[in-house]
């Protein structure tokens, strides 16, 4: 069975389990899975372990579930957790959930993540709108034969983080009095945190944020002509800017930021 057939089986299973047919999808990253749960009505839950061919996350803070429901009267599909390249799975598995969302009919995708702050003006707990990214992983999830069922051989990433959706997010943040930063996100392969020298290099290249996810999913989403919005939760200052880095700190800071992020995403969805 090829990958397209597997995705179709996963899609058919989810279509049977979810009564709503949303056009807005989301990915909630490390420690952010509960940011929208209190705001969601008519919740339908599906564990990834139930879905045929679905990979499962192995990292704390990534539950591996889909939640269907209504957010501010808009039907949405929420992905709790993600797969990271450092978990040792092939690229097709990393972007598999995005392919399934696209096959389900999702047209707009809201991505979230936990990130280290490279920009010296960023502090733990800040929310930052991603304006662009730097793929510092050394690879690309589209490498290999192109599947025309998903998109073209050479997709354009000039507007990888959709300008229209970014404008909506800025307006929503202003109305909610949320100090929404803006910046460029750099992805490294992980799982080790970056060295101070690497952070200096990334800052020189123009990066404001650093993390170990999001970029491959955004590439896959753009490949399939989905509009993408990205928001990072700054969980720590990057290497060399604080004494040490721990995943426990990431989870602690994201848990404190969940309510603000949830309210912001809710307002964004209302305005789309």
Say whether 263 is catalytic. Answer: no
Q: Which of 26, 33, 66, 87 is catalytic?
A: 87
Q: Specify the DSSP element, H or E, that contains 132.
A: strand 127-135
Instruction: Give me the chain's average pLDDT, please.
Output: 90
Q: Specify the DSSP element, H or E, that contains 172.
A: helix 163-176
pLDDT at residue number 136? 94
Model confidence pLDDT, tens digit, residues 34-51: 778 888 899 999 999 999
Say whether 30 is catalytic. Answer: yes
Taking residues 76-98, report their average pLDDT: 92
Greater confidence, 29 or 201?
201
Question: Exposed (0-12), middle (13-18) or buried (19+): which is 127, by Cβ within 10 Å?
Answer: buried
Say whether 62 is catalytic. Answer: yes
Taking residues 84-100, report their average pLDDT: 92
Q: Which of 212, 220, 226, 238 is catalytic?
A: 212
Walk me through the domains of the chain, giving residue ranges and CATH numbers.
3-271 (3.40.50.1580)
Rounded to whole angstroms, the Cα distance separating 254 from 258 reads 6
Nearest residue to 105 via CA among 76, 133, 132, 81: 76
Return the number of other C-beta atoms located less than 10 Å from residue 109's C-beta: 27
Say whether 53 is catalytic. Answer: no
Structure pTM? 0.93
Cβ proximity of 220 and 92 under 8 Å: no
């Amino acid at each position: 069975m090829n990958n397209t057939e597997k995705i179709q089986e996963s899609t058919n299973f989810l279509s049977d389990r979810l009564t709503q047919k949303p056009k807005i999808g989301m990915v909630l990253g490390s420690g952010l899975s509960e940011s929208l749960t209190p705001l969601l009505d008519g919740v339908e839950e599906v564990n990834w372990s139930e879905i045929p061919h679905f990979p499962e996350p192995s990292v704390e803070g990534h539950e591996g579930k889909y939640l269907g429901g209504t957010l501010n009267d808009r039907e949405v599909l929420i992905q709790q957790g993600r797969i990271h390249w450092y978990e040792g799975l092939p690229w097709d598995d990393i972007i598999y959930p995005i392919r399934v969302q696209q096959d389900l009919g999702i047209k707009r995708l809201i991505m979230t993540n936990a990130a280290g702050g490279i920009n010296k003006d960023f502090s733990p707990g800040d929310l930052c709108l991603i304006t662009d990214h730097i793929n510092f992983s050394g690879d690309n999830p589209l490498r290999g034969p192109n599947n025309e069922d998903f998109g073209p051989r050479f997709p354009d990433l000039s507007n990888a983080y959709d300008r229209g959706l970014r404008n909506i997010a800025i307006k929503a943040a202003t109305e909610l009095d949320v100090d929404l930063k803006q910046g460029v996100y750099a992805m490294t392969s992980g799982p080790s945190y970056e060295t101070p020298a690497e952070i200096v290099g990334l800052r020189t290249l123009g990066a404001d944020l650093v993390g170990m996810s999001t970029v491959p999913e955004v590439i896959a989403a753009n490949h399939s002509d989905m509009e993408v919005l990205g928001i990072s939760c700054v969980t720590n200052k990057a290497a060399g800017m604080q004494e040490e880095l721990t995943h426990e700190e990431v989870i602690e800071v994201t848990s404190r930021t969940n309510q603000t992020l949830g309210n912001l995403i809710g307002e964004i969805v209302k305005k789309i």
